[in-house]
């Protein structure tokens, strides 16, 4: 006991000296946490992110002892379009068959079927989307907030949180605030800029600002050579296809096709993008012929 007290007193003295030094240097609370906890913050941030996904499934979620092939990518992130899904197999059969009658009996006391909170949760009806209709999507938000605070450089947390705020709870202002905070912590993030553009396109119907944000996102994506990795290609394809759609809607077929060429270089199925390019080329030819016909006397 005396040894334990001595160790505790020594640690308290060391910590107090470090605290005073940090106060003297006017260091911010976030920097203090970085100094004390270090890389372990990212581990805890990931734990809270996974916890949010478990809530999203109303507790129907694999443990470290279960088959996790169908849960490699958080479902709330895949559903939000924030991450390329790597999930394989049947996501409802991760526990497999019970090994004995004791395990079979214990399963009667845990969630027994696959569900998502935005579908009403374990007992709610499908289509129960947000607070206004009594939904439970808001249950995942505290976990996501903790994850953001512990690891402000985890881009996916911001984009996932923003998606569920705006698309499932109708809180586009809060979603934008979340993304702006993420952009302050991660300047030039193409994924956050892309998600900001979605707010202005889908929620605010402001095509002009959406285009500016997506163009900036695409420039940053290319400048950071993000298109060379899987996640970068996934987001890069979405950015370029959204820009192509804006240009197509305004009749700028040549520019739309140039964006689709970028998307084709990122796509898992480039033949699908090529088919879309061919359609636009036919539209462009038809529009050119129609314009020439109207000029004839």
pLDDT value of residue 268: 86
pLDDT value of residue 192: 96
pLDDT value of residue 176: 96
More confident residue, 121 or 99: 99
Judged by average pLDDT, the poorest of 24-38, 62-76, 181-195 is 24-38
User: Average pLDDT over the chain, rounded to whole?
Assistant: 74
Judged by average pLDDT, the poorest of 15-19, 155-159, 273-277 is 15-19
More confident residue, 197 or 165: 197
pLDDT value of residue 246: 96
When pLDDT is averaged across residues 14-39 and rounded to a whole number, the result is 55
Statement: residue 127 has pLDDT above 50 = no
> What is the 3-class SS of the chain, one letter each residue?
CHHHHHHHHHHHHHHHHHHHHHHHCCCCHHHHHHHHHCCHHHHHHHHHHHHHHHHHCCCCCCCCCCCCHHHCCCHHHHHCCCCCCCCCCCCCCCCCCCCCHHHHHHHHHCCCCCCCHHHCCCCCCCCCCCHHHCCCHHHHHHHHHHHHHHCCCCHHHHHHHHHHHHHHCCCHHHHHHHHHHHHHHCCCCHHHHHHHHHHHHHHCCCHHHHHHHHHHHHHHHHHCCHHHCHHHHHHHHHHHHHHHHHHHHCCCHHHHHHHHHHHHHHCCCHHHHHHHHHHHHHHHHHHHHHHHHHHCC
Judged by average pLDDT, the poorest of 17-21, 177-181, 184-188 is 17-21
Judged by average pLDDT, the poorest of 60-74, 109-123, 269-283 is 109-123
Judged by average pLDDT, the poorest of 102-116, 179-193, 265-279 is 102-116
pLDDT tens digits for 212-231? 999 999 999 988 887 778 88
**pTM (predicted TM-score):** 0.68
- Which of the four pLDDT bands, split at 50, 70 and 90, describes residue 175? very high
- Which of the four pLDDT bands, split at 50, 70 and 90, describes residue 64? low
When pLDDT is averaged across residues 186-207 and rounded to a whole number, the result is 95
- Which of the four pLDDT bands, split at 50, 70 and 90, describes residue 73? low
Statement: residue 232 has pLDDT above 60 = yes
Q: How do the domains of the chain map onto residue ranges?
A: 40-83+112-184
When pLDDT is averaged across residues 52-64 and rounded to a whole number, the result is 59
């Amino acid at each position: 006991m005396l040894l334990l007290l001595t160790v505790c007193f020594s640690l308290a003295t060391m910590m107090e000296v470090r605290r005073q030094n940090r106060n003297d240097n006017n260091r911010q609370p976030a920097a203090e946490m970085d100094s004390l906890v270090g890389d372990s913050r990212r581990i805890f941030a990931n734990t809270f992110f996974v916890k949010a996904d478990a809530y999203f499934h109303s507790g129907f979620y694999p443990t470290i002892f279960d088959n996790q092939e169908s849960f490699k990518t958080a479902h709330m992130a895949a559903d939000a379009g924030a991450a390329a899904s790597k999930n394989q197999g049947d996501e409802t059969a991760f526990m497999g068959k019970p090994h004995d009658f004791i395990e079979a009996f214990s399963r009667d006391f845990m969630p027994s079927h696959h569900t998502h909170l935005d579908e009403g949760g374990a007992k709610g009806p499908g289509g129960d989307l947000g607070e206004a209709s009594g939904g439970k999507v808001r249950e995942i938000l505290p976990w996501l907030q903790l994850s953001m605070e512990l690891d402000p450089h985890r881009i996916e947390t911001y984009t996932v949180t923003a998606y569920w705020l705006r698309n499932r709870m109708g809180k586009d202002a809060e979603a934008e605030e979340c993304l702006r905070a993420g952009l302050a912590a991660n300047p030039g993030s193409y994924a956050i800029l892309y998600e900001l553009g979605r707010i202005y396109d889908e929620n605010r119907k402001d095509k002009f600002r959406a285009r500016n944000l997506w163009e900036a996102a695409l420039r940053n994506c290319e400048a950071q050579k993000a298109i060379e990795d899987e996640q970068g290609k996934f987001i890069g394809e979405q950015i370029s296809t959204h820009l192509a759609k804006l240009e197509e809607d305004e009749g700028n077929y040549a520019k739309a096709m140039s964006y689709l060429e970028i998307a084709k270089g990122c796509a898992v199925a480039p033949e699908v993008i090529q088919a879309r390019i061919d359609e636009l080329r036919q539209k462009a030819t038809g529009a050119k012929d129609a314009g020439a016909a109207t000029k004839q006397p």
